[in-house]
Amino acid sequence: MRTASTTTSCPPEIADSSALVRAAVAARVSDYLVLIKPRISLLVLLTVSAGFSLARVEQLPMSQLLHALFGIALVASGSGALNQWYERKTDARMRRTANRPLPAGRLSSWEVGLFGVGCGTLGTAYLYLQVNTLTAGLTLSTLLLYVLAYTPLKRMTSLSTAVGAIPGALPPVLGWTAAGGQLDSGAFCLFAILFVWQFPHFLAIAWIYREEYARAGLRMLPAEGRLPKAVGLLAVGYSLVLIPVSLLPADCSLAGFGYTVVALTLGLGYLVASIRFAWSVSTRTARGLLAASLVYLPVLLVALVWDHWRLLS
């Protein structure tokens, strides 16, 4: 005798409701990922790791790096969210940012502000408890400089770029102090390289989006596309300065001849891209300079860490 098998299935109404909930959750997660600026955060964590590797002593457990990366990632996420909270009105005036969660109305101002303050506070507290006081204080300083100084100054003066380069150059120093390093010549070398590297990078971005920045009322170099040759010459000047600055780690005994060769090669490549931009200022050459900057930094840091540990072994 055969027995009839019974199957149960979810009613269509419940299945549709479950799919809507999953889609809503996925959309909310996607919006929060936009808030924390993941590509910038990844670059920050790369430079933190490089600084940690250069200052680390053999006895220090690698778990210390994980604690530092977690706390700094929280603060970086809070910094990105607070930046977007502050710039929600100007973001709405630019095509490339108009679809961000705040100007598009997908997240509320209080929600983003609370998220930013919460991440910054939790990250700083975590670093204080799990890493050290110096790293916690410096990390909090990067957030305050970025949100309270650089961000509002963008509406007032093109010198905001120089102010913004300070918190932008601090991540490798955070890794350095997280590994027990002090604010000495080694920390200064790392800070100086990132500080100077940022200017051609920023100038390329500012040229590409100059019209949108002008429409949003942001006083970024180059202001409304004026003096294009001056912008190109600035990029060349900073690229020239970066070459001797990038060799400082050898003078600080952080690296040797191998790193010096790589730094000179990368520096000359960055300089060539800057000269091409200055010779013919255009969106195409600006994108070439931007690409050169994004190749330069990670390759330089990998070479620096590799040569440093090669000398120690």
Whose tokens are 């860490």? That residue is 305
Q: How far apart are CA 236 and CA 281, in angstroms?
A: 12
The pLDDT of residue 226 is above 80: no
Q: What is the pLDDT of residue 1?
A: 43
Q: Which of 111, 94, 92 is nearest to 28 (CA)?
A: 111
The pLDDT of residue 4 is above 60: no
pTM for this model (two decimals): 0.88
Q: What is the pLDDT of residue 216?
A: 76
What is the percent of the chain with per-residue pLDDT over 90, rounded to a whole number?
59
pLDDT digits (tens, 9 = 90+) for 37-71: 888 888 999 999 999 999 976 677 888 999 999 99
The pLDDT of residue 224 is above 60: no
- CA–centroid distance for 278 within its chain: 25
- One-letter-per-residue 3-state SS of 124-170: HHHHHHHCCHHHHHHHHHHHHHHHHHHHHHCCCCCCHHHHHHHHHHC
The pLDDT of residue 244 is above 70: yes
DSSP state string for 92-108: TTSTTTTTSTTTTTSS-
**Per-residue confidence at 8, pLDDT binned at 50, 70, 90?**
low
Q: What is the pLDDT of residue 221?
A: 65
The pLDDT of residue 287 is above 70: yes
CATH superfamily entry for domain 33-183: UbiA prenyltransferase (1.10.357.140)
Q: Which residue has the higher pLDDT, 13 or 298?
A: 298
Q: How far apart are CA 15 and CA 9, in angstroms?
A: 10
Domain residue extents for the chain: 33-183, 185-313
pLDDT digits (tens, 9 = 90+) for 93-127: 888 888 888 888 888 899 999 999 999 999 999 99
**Per-residue confidence at 2, pLDDT binned at 50, 70, 90?**
very low
Q: How far apart are CA 251 and CA 41, in angstroms?
A: 30
Q: What's the mean pLDDT in 222-241?
A: 80
Q: Using alpha carbons, list the distances in angstroms from residue 10 to 7, 13, 17, 152, 248.
A: 10, 8, 11, 53, 66
